[in-house]
Amino acid sequence: MKHDMPAIQLIGLTKTFGTVKANDHINLDVHSGEILALLGENGSGKTTLMNMLSGIYQPDEGNIFIKGKAVNIRSPKDAINLGIGMIHQHFKLVDLFTARENIQLGQRNNQAFSPDEVCKKLGLKTDLDKKIYNMSVSEKQSVEILKVLTRGADILILDEPTAVLTPQEIESLFKILRAMKEDGKAIVIITHKLEEVMNISDRVAVLHKGVNVGSIDTAKADRFVLTQMMVGRQVDLQIKRALAKTGDTILDVHQLSITAADGQKELQSVSFQLHAGEILGVAGVAGSGQKALCEAIAGLQEISGGSILLDGKRIDGLSPRDIIKRGVSMAFIPEDRLGMGLVGSMNIPDNLLLKTYREQPGILLNRKSAKNEAARMIEGLDISTPGLNTPVQKLSGGNVQKVLLGREISLSPKVLITAYPVRGLDIGASMRIYDMLNEQKLKGVAVLFIGEDLDVLLSLCDRIAVLSSGRLTAIVDSKFATKALLGMKMAGLRTDKEDAYA
Amino acid sequence: MTFAQQLLAFFYAAVLASVPLLYGTLGEILIEKSGNLNLGVEGMMYLGAIFGFLGGFIFDSAAMALLFAFAAGMAGAAIYAFITVTLKANQNVTGLTLTIFGTGAANFIGEIIKDSHAAGTVFISDKVKNVLLPLDMGILSDIPVIGKLLFSHSILTYFVIILSVSMSIYLNRSRHGLNLRAVGENPAAADAMGISVSKYKYIHILLGGGICGLGGAYVSLVTAVGNWQPNIIGGQGWIALALVIFSSWSPTRAIFGALIFGALSVLRLYIPKNIIDIPGALFSMLPFIVTCLVLIFSSIKQKREHQQPAGCGVNFFREER
């Protein structure tokens, strides 16, 4: 009877933030020796649900049963004692400590397994005495996994574990997960990438707007069924690459090097050319120098070597304002969305004015033109907002991003730099953003697209440049590129073919 | 006096002056290691100074004096801890308020005692002072040079050295020290590992406050030789705050930092007027000028291990995303 008990059983779990029901009476079972994928768009309540299991949040209603026993998880400590280990999307590691110290944290002498043992068992090659701040993202993730396993966790929750990994690293993570599954552990993996769901999971549960819309065996599912469950309607998943005539070189980045204040080399002689009517994608794991590149072109970051030419004239060393005047626009979406570009407490017209008020005569602001422009934008881009005077921070993520991108486009730039424009957006809103970029491309704008999702880069961009720890490791035509190739380049590895010729 | 004697006297005075700075610094290091920046060092030292004085005056006992001082510093820190850890208010503002409160309360109480007793009767008895003032260890203290340098200090001086060494061992070698540093660096990570962030913060903020209180008691009982004076701390708490940065959060490096600042503050008395004659006010400025320089130079990026705990100044909410 005993092994029929699900490892986790959630009944009627509800959590409300303010007026928003993040989780609405969710029922869910997870069994030992199975990998359950929890699928849903951003904001559908996946992380909230799992945070209730790991003791970060308290449910307002409903019950949690662990191995058949009703439990009350009041803190992460309770969760650990119940054998629940959560690997958060943003790692919870102390950067200054070594891996071993991080693993030892908060433990008395009752460590269930030694980290060395666990490493051996899973075939992990983590250097336990390396400091976290010297580690790559995937190494850090291994430490997170070690942390929970050394405590004897038999229920593992991974929150978007693949977001920051290269395809090769994802494959080795999945190998580890399969090994843990064989070991009889119950594993929940939160993701919104359909391919990974199909690849790794035994069963899929789909959340939509805080409600569990059902779960099916992965073997019986396909991408379209899952999308429909996830979005609640049929969606055309095909991203189109607009056919435009590639024009002259607009932006010429030549041997660009950037050294940060602490001596770290953020970019090392990066060269590429960006043409009119072209979308050039930039791939790379987070923190490979994407931010420095964008900021250097926009004039926000001092460069330590090389040059940046716009229409054959140098723009490096000019002030950001001069660079904007010459037609370079940047829409950088940081993780917190509002951090760079928009002022959250101001409304849409005022945010538009931020970039144009200098062109107005006199000392007083003329809001009328900005209001008209804002109204046009709301109409044209289908931005949902209660009114012109609503502060942008009250808008949903997708709408904020439309405002940001819309403002840059309204300046009719020659070069449009966009970084992570679909970060945190659902599929529908993402498609709208891709359409906007394609429209710009057709108008002859040179677009630099810093992206995260390789599938998107491959289908949207004309060419893809790959950054790896500040170096440009490849520029490839996306018609001929594969994910495996990009992944190899992102990791800074040479391909087999190159080795054969070397 | 020969030059060598002069030098020895200068060094001895520097040690005397450095002890309260070192107490304040150690207290604040312990607090900052828990991820809280407490600008109330000056206030907690004032509280320790007046209550240490009161304890000694009322009970005529050195132990009670020190107990009172420690408890008073802790009480000041407890207010701060409740407001910042439990109520999650701004740490800077709370710390500043604690300084203003401690300074005011100590001076106020001091005035009351002086007013309520006959002139010249408010001082600490010799019985108490004999315990706390620099010791005479007989033969040991009589050894030339070394006796004066090593074996003729206050019991509080020896204690503070032991304290800084044991604090260093606690922080860097013990399990609880590791947990504490994790709380200060990344409370969310510590929390996820089942460490009680609030408990660690409370314990170390309170202990740190008590240590600052001892520094205050040293000022009123040893430096001022048991006579209460208004504005007795006079900015030493602020210098201690700068010393925390100067010693890059290391209790053992703090010993040398405190010695340097102690030396600066007594330098004026040991430079013969016939050699350099500059106004005394300029000398009094020295520690503060050096503090400014320290703050400027320490803002230049250093090794990551030598920087302020990353969680300092930010209150921890578990549910924040």
Which residue type occupies B176?
Answer: H
Which tokens sit at A273? Answer: 């050319």
Flag whether A365 is in a domain.
no
Q: Residue A200: left if φ>0, alpha if ψ -120 to 50, beta else—which one? A: alpha
Model confidence at A234: pLDDT above 80: no
Closest approach of B193 to chain A, Cα-based (Å): 6
Contact assignment for B178 to A105 by CB distance below 8 Å? yes
Which tokens sit at A408? Answer: 């840059």
Of B181, B188, B301, the CB nearest to A261: B301
Flag whether A298 is in a domain.
yes
Could you give all domains of chain B from N- to C-terminal order, each with its CATH number?
A: 3-306 (1.10.3470)
Flag whether A387 is in a domain.
no
Closest approach of B105 to chain A, Cα-based (Å): 39
Of A75, A105, A262, the CB nearest to B179: A105
Give the confidence band of B58 by pLDDT, cuts at 50, 70, 90. very high
Flag whether A351 is in a domain.
no
Q: Residue A262 to residues A130, A136, B92: CA-CA distances in angstroms?
A: 20, 19, 27
A56 CB neighbours in chain B (<8 A) are 318-319
Residues A260 and A217 occupy one common structural domain: no
Contact assignment for A147 to B193 by CB distance below 8 Å? yes
Residues A333 and A424 occupy one common structural domain: yes
User: Which residue of A96, A133, A144, A335 is the best one to mutate when testing the B interface, meaning the one whose CB has the most B CBs within 10 A?
Assistant: A96
Indicate the average pLDDT of chain A: 85
Per-residue pLDDT, A501: 41
A105 CB neighbours in chain B (<8 A) are 178-179, 182, 189-190, 193, 195
Which tokens sit at B253? Answer: 């490096």
Mean pLDDT, residues B42-62? 96
Closest alpha carbon to A286 in A394, A164, A399 = A164
User: Which residue of A105, A132, A262 is the best one to mutate when testing the B interface, meaning the one whose CB has the most B CBs within 10 A?
Assistant: A105
B190 CB neighbours in chain A (<8 A) are 94, 105-106
Flag whether A97 is in a domain.
yes
Mean pLDDT, residues A69-81? 92
CATH, residue A212:
3.40.50.300
Q: How far apart are CA B186 and CA A95, in angstroms?
A: 8
DSSP string, A387-404: -TTSBGGGS-HHHHHHHH
Does B193 contact A at CB distance below 8 Å?
yes
A57 CB neighbours in chain B (<8 A) are 319
Domain of residue A456, residue span: 249-342+413-501
The residue ranking higher by pLDDT, B212 or A115, is B212
Among chain A residues, the shortest Cα distance to B186 is held by: A94
Among A231, A258, A274, the domain boundary falls at A231
Using DSSP's 3-state secondary structure scheme, residue B1 falls into: coil
Give the confidence band of A338 by pLDDT, cuts at 50, 70, 90. low
Among A231, A265, A285, the domain boundary falls at A231
CB B217 within 8 A of CB B69: yes
Give the confidence band of A138 by pLDDT, cuts at 50, 70, 90. confident
Give the confidence band of A13 by pLDDT, cuts at 50, 70, 90. very high
Contact assignment for A80 to B178 by CB distance below 8 Å? no
Mean pLDDT, residues B197-205? 97
Model confidence at A14: pLDDT above 90: yes
Residues A187 and A272 occupy one common structural domain: no
Per-residue pLDDT, B28: 97
CA A489-A493-A496 angle, to 5 degrees, is 100
Model confidence at A499: pLDDT above 50: no
User: Which residue of B186, B196, B304, B320 is the best one to mutate when testing the A interface, meaning the one whose CB has the most A CBs within 10 A?
Assistant: B186
pLDDT tens-digit readout, B241-280: 999 998 999 999 999 999 999 999 888 888 877 777 778 7
A141-145, A458-462, B63-67, B315-319: the lowest-pLDDT one: B315-319
Mean pLDDT, residues B138-147? 84
| Residues in A lying within 8 Å of B, measured between beta carbons | 54, 56-57, 75-77, 80-81, 86, 88, 92-97, 101-102, 104-108, 133, 147, 261-262
Q: Within a 13 Å sphere around the CA of A437, how many CA atoms are in the beta-carbon half?
A: 35
Which run of H or of E encompasses B3?
helix B3-33
Residues B256-275 as b/e (b if ≥16 CB within 10 A, e otherwise) read ebbbbbbbbbbbeeeeeeee
Closest approach of A425 to chain B, Cα-based (Å): 18
Mean pLDDT, residues A74-103? 91
CB A245 within 8 A of CB A277: yes
User: Which residue of B174, B193, B197 is the best one to mutate when testing the A interface, meaning the one whose CB has the most A CBs within 10 A?
Assistant: B193
Count CB neighbours of A232 within 10 A. Answer: 16
Report how far Cα B79 is from the mean position of its chain's Cα atoms. Answer: 18
Per-residue pLDDT, A340: 63
Contact assignment for A106 to B185 by CB distance below 8 Å? no
Flag whether A191 is in a domain.
yes
Per-residue pLDDT, A500: 40
Per-residue pLDDT, A120: 84
Q: How far apart are CA A106 and CA A81, in angstroms?
A: 12
Among chain B residues, the shortest Cα distance to A78 is held by: B194
Residues A219 and A324 occupy one common structural domain: no
Which tokens sit at A221? Answer: 């599912």
Model confidence at B179: pLDDT above 90: yes
Mean pLDDT, residues A78-93? 90
Of A56, A102, A106, the CB nearest to B194: A106
Does B196 contact A at CB distance below 8 Å?
yes
Model confidence at A162: pLDDT above 90: no
A54 CB neighbours in chain B (<8 A) are 192
pLDDT tens-digit readout, A367-395: 888 899 899 888 887 787 888 888 887 77
Does B191 contact A at CB distance below 8 Å?
yes
Q: Give this prediction's pTM.
A: 0.80
Residue with tokens 């206050």: B154
Residues A11 and A56 occupy one common structural domain: yes
Residues A333 and A479 occupy one common structural domain: yes
**In chain A, what percentage of residues exceed pLDDT 90?**
34
Flag whether A198 is in a domain.
yes
pLDDT tens-digit readout, A286-329: 778 888 898 899 888 889 999 999 998 999 888 888 888 888 87
CB pairs under 8 A between A and B: 69
Mean pLDDT, residues A203-219? 90
Residues A210 and A254 occupy one common structural domain: no
Give the confidence band of B120 by pLDDT, cuts at 50, 70, 90. confident
Give the confidence band of A192 by pLDDT, cuts at 50, 70, 90. confident
Residues A279 and A154 occupy one common structural domain: no
Q: Residue B26: left if φ>0, alpha if ψ -120 to 50, beta else—which one? A: alpha
Rg of chain B taking only CA atoms, in angstroms: 20
The residue ranking higher by pLDDT, A5 or A25, is A25
Residues A209 and A269 occupy one common structural domain: no
Mean pLDDT, residues B224-240? 92
pLDDT tens-digit readout, A243-253: 888 889 999 99
The residue ranking higher by pLDDT, A479 or B106, is B106
Q: According to DSSP H, which parts of A201-263 are helical?
A: 223-231
Model confidence at A19: pLDDT above 80: no
Residues A274 and A162 occupy one common structural domain: no
Contact assignment for A80 to B318 by CB distance below 8 Å? no
Model confidence at B237: pLDDT above 80: yes
Among A231, A262, A293, the domain boundary falls at A231
DSSP string, B57-118: HHH--HHHHHHHHHHHHHHHHHHHHIIIIIS---HHHHHHHHHHHHHHHHHHHHHHHHHHS-
Give the confidence band of A161 by pLDDT, cuts at 50, 70, 90. confident
B35 CB neighbours in chain A (<8 A) are none
Residues A311 and A204 occupy one common structural domain: no
CB B51 within 8 A of CB B220: no
A308 phi, psi to nearest 5 deg: -125, 120
Flag whether A274 is in a domain.
yes
pLDDT tens-digit readout, A89-131: 888 999 999 999 999 998 876 666 888 888 888 778 889 999 9
Total domains in chain A come to: 2
Closest approach of B248 to chain A, Cα-based (Å): 15
Per-residue pLDDT, A366: 85
pLDDT tens-digit readout, A342-368: 888 889 999 888 888 888 888 888 888
Q: Within a 13 Å sphere around the CA of B179, how many CA atoms are in the beta-carbon half?
A: 20
Contact assignment for B190 to A105 by CB distance below 8 Å? yes
pLDDT tens-digit readout, B278-313: 787 888 788 888 888 877 887 776 777 888 899 998
pLDDT tens-digit readout, A445-458: 999 999 888 888 99
Residues A226 and A282 occupy one common structural domain: no
A266-280, B135-149, B196-210: the lowest-pLDDT one: B135-149
Q: How far apart are CA A437 and CA A271, in angstroms?
A: 23
